Amino acid sequence: MTEKSAQKPALTKLHKWLAELRNDDGNKYLHILLKEEANIPDDVWDELFVFIDHAHEGARSSLRAPLGESLNPLMLGTKIDPAYGYPHKLNIIALQGFFGEILTGIIAESYETFGSSAWEVPVYLFRTHVTAFQQLEEIKQTDEWDKVILGRTGDDGLAFERGEDGGIIRWMACEAKCTSSHNATLINDNHEKLAHSVVTKPVDLLRTIAALQDYVDDDYSRDWIQSLRELYFDSENKKIERCDLSVYVCGKMPVKNPTWISTDEPHKTYTAKRKLTAVEVHITDIVTKIRSLYDRMDSK
């Protein structure tokens, strides 16, 4: 079993996939609309698959870790493998959730918000989805692969901005929703959850450190673990600003208006006073595209 670095593969072709329209009030609210381009080249999907596959690698390592060296490489890809079927064989609802979280991380790193394009997502938190891992073991024994996987608690994603010394100067709580059609309740839920969270440090800070440890111990992981540990032990926490990011990915385009979410002011359920970025992503035939990307893992 080859260990990989937690450092994510580069995404160089995002502009060929999504066109950006933004509405910035210059103060505390930013709305970004990302609309899928026509005639997307195949190399866009190739690059995106590599990124998605890497995002799940830490969770696969976490699943296999208890068996250590007793898991023979010849067992990989068989039902003896604790990571067999993860994540590609899971129900499409679970895959939509995974895709939404990954795309949220990509958006956090790729689009400027409030004067900064330095946001970084050190690692994805799929290894914290204990319920999915428990149900995966059950499904492997019953072959009920269409069973709906319950969602996980905690942060959908975390992004950080670091200073020149590597210390964290801002962090961003991320909430993601992905639906094949349109569901206003999902938009409400995203904004409401962000608004009601009053923590000044991420609740999944320790889980983020643990997720980095699922990958190879290299400079990338060590640097991030050090930065996150310093944040955890910062008892005063006065210099750390929190921002919020809500990402809504949908397969149905609005008709009366160009967007589902207000471009001028925060959603009515977002009552916090922090800086908020609301992003909606319009992707046609989204279920087919998500399934196609994850199906590629079957041939690895």
pLDDT of residue 135: 87
pLDDT of residue 299: 63
pLDDT of residue 237: 59
Torsion angle in degrees (nearest 10) through CA of 43, 46, 47, 49? 160
Residue 131 lies in a domain: yes
- Angle 286-295/42-55 helices, nearest 10 degrees? 70
Residue 281 lies in a domain: yes
Q: How many residues does the chain have?
A: 300
Separation of alpha carbons 231 and 191, rounded Å: 25
Residue 227 lies in a domain: yes
Residues 64 and 71: beta-carbon distance below 8 Å: yes
Tens of pLDDT along the chain (300 residues) come to 457 899 999 999 999 999 999 988 667 999 999 999 999 999 999 999 999 999 999 999 999 989 988 888 888 888 889 999 999 999 999 999 999 999 999 999 999 887 777 999 999 999 888 888 888 888 888 988 888 877 777 788 999 999 999 999 999 999 999 999 999 999 999 999 999 999 989 999 999 999 999 999 999 999 999 999 999 998 775 678 999 999 999 999 999 999 999 999 999 999 999 999 999 999 999 999 999 999 999 865
Residue 65 lies in a domain: yes
Would strands 168-179 and 275-282 be described as parallel, antiparallel, or unpaired? unpaired
DSSP structure string for 246-286: EEEEESS--SSSS-SS-SSS--TT----SEEEEEEEE-TTH
Task: Using the structure block, give the residue that is written with the tokens 């067992």.
Answer: 75
Residue 166 lies in a domain: yes
pLDDT of residue 190: 96
Residue 257 lies in a domain: yes
Please state the domain count of the chain: 1
Which domain range does residue 172 map to? 14-299
Token representation of residue 167: 């210390």
Residue 204 lies in a domain: yes
- Ramachandran region, residue 220 (left: φ > 0; alpha: ψ -120 to 50; beta: rest): alpha
Residue 7 lies in a domain: no
Report which of 104, 16, 53 is spatially closest to residue 293, judged by C-alpha positions. 53
Token representation of residue 38: 């026509």
